[in-house]
A and B are shown apart, each in its own frame.
Chain A
Amino acid sequence: MSAARIRGLRKAYGAHLVFDGLDLDLARGERVAILGASGCGKSTLLRCIAGLERADAGTIATSGEIGVVFQEPRLFPWLDVERNVAFPARSDAERARVANVLALVGLAHAAKRIPKELSGGMAQRAALARALVRDPALLLLDEPFAALDALRRIELRAAVREILEFTRASAILVTHDVDDALALADRVVVLAGTPAEIAFTAQVGETATRGAILDALGVVEVRSRSVPARSGRHGASYTS
């Protein structure tokens, strides 16, 4: 049984066709990173799966709870961290998980703080805890580290990695960062084109190498050692 099964997804904004017949499968427990250029439809895909956008055609089947973490924490500013995390809880069992997920994301000490008293990294951890409180079978992560500085990014990436290992939840990570993808995912999918199609898909540790992903993204990595010798006006040449 799969965690998510997308068939023939079609989505347009006015005349702009984002997807026209996209298929994607996510096995239970699998973590897929979706990469692609800005505006290629990565976030739209996630929003369709989360039910925030209505697909024009096609089917999206998921099983179990879905948890979502956005680029911004989106905490409710009038609730403290604990109540923010408890917000989606519907049963005593789920409410009882609040302390656990707070500890899991390393925020047990900040349970009573309100969002304006949190740093960006802490706020994003709280958002992650809120996404986990219903014990989701599928986590949707929409560029969750994009608003963080480089150090917080590394910290939170490690935390998310641990949490994904621990919860065994399936996950779709939308990112534009190849390192995020390689660190967190089992499989990398590159979206490209208009309408967007899967231009590349490979297992991490097998064919999904950094170079192959960058190639699929159409990125030409300029390495200083391979810069060709330049010719000066007087015919002098330099080599590095």
Chain B
Amino acid sequence: MARFIVPLALLAGWWAASASGFIKSYQLASPRDVVRELLDLAQSGLLWRDLGASVERVALGFAIALLCALVLGSLVGGSRFAERALDPTLQGIRAVPSLAWVPLILLWLGIGETAKITLVAIGAFFPIYVALVSGIRGVDRKLVEVGTIFGLSRFALIARVLVPATLPQLLVGARIGLTQAWLFLVAAELLAATNGLGFLLTDGQQTSRTDEILVAILLFAACGKLSESAMRLLEKRLVGWTDTVPA
């Protein structure tokens, strides 16, 4: 019950401030206006267009990031040579605040879908990559020895010991990566977009529609929360065996 007190109090305060005229609608739309705008957008179909566009960009960018992180992370985690060859470069790139790539990406890829998906992928890649490498490095050597004693082949050792042992870390990295993906989606859609939740934000700003802006913010919050919960559920299902204090 306690978790609902603060949100409900905020909502009541917001409603009271709007209804009494303390806050003007061009500063902050009332809860009623926001709900009406949400219903209008849903009825006109624009909501589904924007939501769909954003979800698609996040899904594609995240999938690309996951794939790249799996390939590069496995290489760097599994081979000292690959680590020496690749890791310093990747760490160097990681040290650049990822949004600093935006101008280059726009110059190279234009303002189309490719640029947005690329930016989302860059944002999601590093948390997954870093978690996977540290997961592989952190695999209990004693468990690997058990596999060795039973004469497991290199492939069997990877499939039956290393992959399951690394999975908890990988999933944590993927969860953080997915959060990052939404973050970078906003940046990408704020720059140049003709649809998407970020487009709702800029459109609301240009037309001074605070209800539209708030609808976009609420939808971002819902999407972020939903994807986070989905990842946590996945973690619980797949790696519930970990003997750690639940986060």
Contacts and interface: CB of A to CB of B under 8 A. Distances in A.
B148 A116 contact: no
A77 B242 contact: yes
- Interface of B: prevailing SS: helix
Nearest to B145: A52
B164 A76 contact: yes
Interface string A50-86: 1110000000000000101010101011100000000
B142 A70 contact: yes
A14 B149 CA distance: 24
A74 B142 contact: yes
B243 A52 contact: no
Given A74-B142, A76-B143, A78-B164, A88 B241 contact: no
Contact of B239 (A68, A72, A76, A78): A78
Interface in A99-143: 114-116, 134
Given A70-B142, A72-B142, A78 B149 contact: no
Interface residues of A, number: 17
The residue in B145, B167, B242 that gathers the most chain A C-beta atoms within 10 A of its C-beta is: B145
Interface in B126-180: 142-143, 145-146, 148-150, 160-161, 164-165, 167
B22 to A, nearest CB: 55
User: 8 shortest A-B CB distances, which residue pairs?
Assistant: A116-B243, A88-B150, A78-B241, A78-B164, A77-B241, A74-B146, A114-B241, A74-B142
B149 A68 contact: yes
Contacts, number: 38
Given A51-B148, A76-B146, 17 more contacts: A52-B148, A52-B149, A66-B149, A68-B149, A74-B142, A74-B143, A76-B161, A77-B241, A77-B242, A78-B239, A78-B241, A87-B150, A87-B160, A88-B150, A115-B243, A116-B242, A134-B150
A88 B152 CA distance: 9
B35 to A, nearest CB: 46
Nearest to A116: B243
Nearest to B146: A74
A114 B143 CA distance: 16
A46 to B, nearest CB: 11
Interface residues of B, number: 16
A57 to B, nearest CB: 22
Contacts of A51: 148-149
Contacts of B165: 76, 78
Interface in B218-247: 239, 241-243
B196 to A, nearest CB: 39
6 contacts: A68-B149, A70-B142, A76-B165, A78-B164, A116-B241, A134-B150
Nearest to B148: A52
Nearest to A71: B142
Contacts of B161: 76
Interface string B55-73: 0000000000000000000
A105 B31 CA distance: 66
A78 B149 CA distance: 19
| B150, B167, B241, B242, most chain A CB atoms within 10 A | B150
Nearest to A68: B149
Contacts of B150: 87-88, 134
A205 B161 CA distance: 44
Nearest to B140: A74
Nearest to B238: A78
A205 to B, nearest CB: 32
A227 B108 CA distance: 89
A93 to B, nearest CB: 16
B243 A77 contact: yes
Interface string A135-161: 000000000000000000000000000
